[in-house]
Amino acid sequence: MSIPIWMRGTIVAAAAWLLVGCTTPIPQALSSQTLPKAFVGPITTDAKMWPQPDWWNGFSDPELSNLIAQAHSNNLDLAAAANRVMQAQAQAKVQRAALFPQVGAQLSHTNGGCSGQSCYDYFDEKNFGLAFDASYELDFWGLARDNLRAATEALKSARFAQEVVVLTVTANVADQYLNVAAARQRIAVSHDNIDAINKILVVIQHRVNEGLISRLDLAQEQAQVEAVEAQLPALETLEKQSLYSLALLLGKPPEGFDVKRQNLDSLSAPAIGPGLPSQLLLRRPDISEAEANLASAHADVDAARAAFLPQFSLTGSGGFFSVALGTLLQGPSFGYAYGANIAQTIFDGGKLAGQKDLAVATQNEYVANYQSAVLNAYSDVEAALVQVANGNKTESHLRSEVDAAREAFRISQLQYEEGTIDLLPVIQAQQTLFSAQDQLAQTIQANRQSIVHLYEALGGGWTEDEVDRTQFYNDQVLQTSANNAVSH
């Protein structure tokens, strides 16, 4: 039997609609050129691979661990991020509702009356009604499912964004804590230097009083005291600013807030190393956030395509209507109606086309954002690896310099007191020691913070669940890297 021409056209149109309405694969934004085979930054061979979720305990500082615990409980940025997750959950609930019938009920009562002679009977009566209505939009082309998928991916993005905030707040607490300790250590170095200068001033004053030297040496050493004293206010300001920033991270007012640590002594962290670069894609919450944003944008593209197609809906209503409340729920008072609707946009001035173009452009933006997040992650890790390695070298050299400068200053003091040298070598030795001690404190601070940044760059011990992934590249490499991380 031959198929009529009009039926053939209908079948072709229906097939085209089905093809357009189907969910399409999420664009894969990664390529073989995107992922390096290995990190090139300096890596300690015996370093443990990947941070632990409680990586800050590696500093062996109970006070730091307690501060981070307080921040996790009271930080206001974390509270805001948690509420953004709740907003995304509510939005997903709203979109999920479109998959179910909508049922409503209405109870009504009217009471009419008329006092004129020309009134009709129906003006003077009571009416009671109990009505139910239901509607259901058939998700034939997947429009509601696409919207739900977009909202679900947006929820994942909000959860990942929350993890980004957790990681950032944790690292910032450690950074500000180190800033406070470093500022206090530099202040202590300045006071030690002032004490050393004052001891020399006693000797100089004694020799001036005896007429052995002119007041030139006295004026020069007094100028040294003033120079060191002039640096103290800036250091004290830095210490207070860091302390106040730390209080803010903990959700506390700065008034009365303080920490016990006075220097950077005994504050170290174990070496940490990255695994394969491909495994980093599963360990950075910001990458997963960008991944979820891309998946959500792609669902919006599918929804925009489905919006071009006819929408089918079923409706029904029924209820009881009576002039007397006592007979309202009796059989003769019941009535009902049902039907089906098909709605198709004929002309909208380009609205649907514009919405589709907007969704496609947004998707392309998130493709670029995801690729950028991946590249930035690799850059962060490489930079942190170099900072840690070079910081260790610099710290080692500065410690040797401080030891040598301290010995040179001690010898110059003895020689000046014995009168074998003039004051200039003493001043030079003193300045060298003070500068080396101050630079060492700053270098230790920068080195410990570079370790914090490496932990942060490696994701802080966070791992994306397998079920949340929508971007895939070389699963065998990812699995091998995961096994290596576990074995280490």
Using one digit for the tens of pLDDT, what is the confidence trace for 166-203?
A: 999 999 999 999 999 999 999 999 999 999 888 888 88
For residue 281, count CB atoms less than 10 angstroms from its CB and return exposed for 0-12, middle for 13-18, buried for 19 or more: buried
- 7: Cβ–Cβ under 8 A, 6 or more apart, which residues? none
pTM: 0.83
Is residue 239 within 8 A of residue 262, CB to CB? The reply is no
Rounded Cα distance, 340 and 349, in Å: 27
Domains of the chain with bracketed CATH = 23-100+142-309+351-487 (1.20.1600.10), 103-138+312-343 (2.20.200.10)
State the helix-helix crossing angle for 143-209 and 76-96, rounded to 10 degrees. 180
Output the pLDDT for position 473.
Answer: 73
Q: What DSSP line would sit under 181-219, residue for residue?
A: HHHHHHHHHHHHHHHHHHHHHHHHHHHHHTTSS-THHHH
Output the pLDDT for position 482.
Answer: 40
239-298 confidence digits (pLDDT tens): 999 999 999 999 999 999 999 999 998 888 888 888 888 889 999 999 999 999 999 999
Give Dmax over CA atoms of the chain in angstroms.
134
Confidence of residue 1 (pLDDT cuts 50, 70, 90): very low
**Angle at CA of residue 348, ends 345 and 354, nearest 5°:** 110
Rounded Cα distance, 41 and 334, in Å: 80
Mean pLDDT of the chain: 86
One-letter identity of residue 17? W
394-446 confidence digits (pLDDT tens): 999 999 999 999 999 999 989 988 888 888 888 899 999 999 999 999 999 99
Confidence of residue 210 (pLDDT cuts 50, 70, 90): confident
Residue 383 pLDDT > 70: yes
**Angle at CA of residue 380, ends 379 and 382, nearest 5°:** 65
120-130 confidence digits (pLDDT tens): 554 456 777 77
